[in-house]
Chains A and B, each alone.
Chain A
Amino acid sequence: MTGPVRVAVLDYGAANMVSITKALTAVGAEAVVAAEPSALSGIDAIVIPGVGAAAPAMVHLRERGLSEPLREWVRAGRPCLGICLGFQLFFDASDEADAQALGLLAGRTVGLVDAPTLPHIGWNSVDAVRPHPLFDGVADGSYFYFVHSFAPVPSDEGIVVARTTHGRPFVSAVAKGSLYGLQFHPEKSSEAGLRVLANFVGLVAAGASAAGSDAAGAPVA
């Protein structure tokens, strides 16, 4: 491919767009804020950022006409990274106000059980379940910044990349084909977070080159 990887950051009213776009820029990507489907043309990857509540987030995604293009994008096996609430929305539903989510991954988002403090706010260690290129160059057990009260429980254990413990262990990173989800905020996790974002951008670039040379995308398995 030529030029930097173009990443659309979905703007569905979930606050802080500055940090994620600047962090993507800092690792060499071209970040485009996408508040409507037309902004998705000509891009290489989608990032769904977000903090806040699941139900209003889904309403905003639908109102802006973004939820269907997003589903099609992921089903076509194109690269997508969900962060925090954006990650939780990949699953079927959330216990948070009984919200229906995107249904791209089987499972349900539930409240953190046995958490000594809630919300879970702060830096916590991310422990690898299996090696994944998203964490290349990041020491196992490195600290990342979390801000949440819910976490998804995937039906398929095979997609789990890392776990974190707050009271009980919960899933803090998943990967399935070109679909990646992080419960922590890489854009707020200093050097370690930028490394993960750089790895994501690198995976997108590698996938785009492969797709360009042999037209074989990497559909979600």
Chain B
Amino acid sequence: MLARRVIPCLDVDKGRVVKGTRFLNLTDEGDPAELAERYAHEGADEIVFLDITAAHERRGTMLEVVRRTASRAFVPLTVGGGVRSVDEMRDVLRAGADKVSFNTAAVADPALLAACADRFGSQAVVCAIDARRLPRPDGAEQRWEVVTHGGRRTTELEAVEWAIRAVGMGAGELLVTSMDRDGTRSGFDTQLLAEIATRVRVPVIASGGAAGPDDFVTAVRDGKADAVLAASIFHRRIFSIADVKAAMAAAGLPVRQLEGRDA
């Protein structure tokens, strides 16, 4: 039985893990490779690095982070942020990443998803979708708009339609973040997740709003997510990965638990 994944996300700025609220009030939280290794040891099913470094400073630094992490942590690595071409994706994969996540670059040029999937396979191409609820007139269905740049820019895209299109272009996985919930610790937008997950065949990763282990359960059970991503609750050691997996297992969800380290 395929396990539901628990994925810590590390925001990386100039080679260091930072935390803040969507690019603001950043504080240094340490070395990405060390933190990734710790999470892998604690049972993380995958690690996501999100490169938030300004574009002109980026090249090289993130590749070195990936290289060091892949040498020490033998779990899947996904890198998001700033990859805009097939060649840049090749460099990230060659450094030791397994997948690359595209957000703004895919919105600007959806054909990039197809080009990267043709070259490296769909399994390596993740489309990250940041979505925000649109006002809902009485009786109308709920809809979501796709936003970019951490929610500061809107697009013409409707999130569910964009998700279906991105998969059609070659995305092998979707990372769906609710901008309404991100950083609020009010739980995942399970309605958004379910709307997307029931319309695509690729795995959906839930993101944005985790407050505690119960939210991971509802993201999978109600949101139909295959994997759940969170940042601050792990970084701040509010809950461990084992805490989250114990709650998921107690709810009857299949999870990979570490032998001899937890139940």
Contact = CB atoms under 8 A, between A and B. Distances in A.
Contacts of B75: 145, 188-190
A9 B172 CA distance: 26
Interface size class of B (residues with CB under 8 A): 35 or more
Most buried by B among A18, A142, A148: A18
A123 B74 contact: no
A122 B70 contact: no
Contact of B201 (A18, A117, A139): A117
Interface string B165-186: 0000000110000000000000
Nearest to B5: A122
Contact of A51 (B5, B67, B95, B98): B98
Q: Is the interface of B mostly helix, strand, loop or mixed?
A: loop
Most buried by A among B40, B75, B124: B75
Given A26-B74, A117-B203, A188-B74, A16 B173 contact: no
B3 A122 contact: yes
A7 to B, nearest CB: 16
A18 B71 contact: yes
A166 B201 CA distance: 13
Contacts of A124: 1-3
A189 B74 contact: yes
A165 B1 contact: yes
Contacts of A123: 2-3, 5, 45, 256
Contacts of B45: 122-123, 145
Interface string A9-33: 0000001111100110010000000
B191 interface: no
Interface residues of A, number: 37
Contacts of B2: 117, 120, 122-124, 166
B123 A149 contact: yes
23 contacts: A15-B90, A15-B94, A15-B120, A16-B96, A18-B67, A51-B121, A51-B124, A117-B203, A118-B201, A119-B172, A121-B172, A121-B203, A122-B3, A122-B4, A123-B2, A124-B3, A125-B1, A166-B2, A187-B74, A188-B76, A190-B40, A190-B75, A193-B74
Interface of A: 15-19, 22-23, 26, 51-53, 117-125, 139, 142-143, 145, 147-149, 165-166, 185, 187-191, 193-194
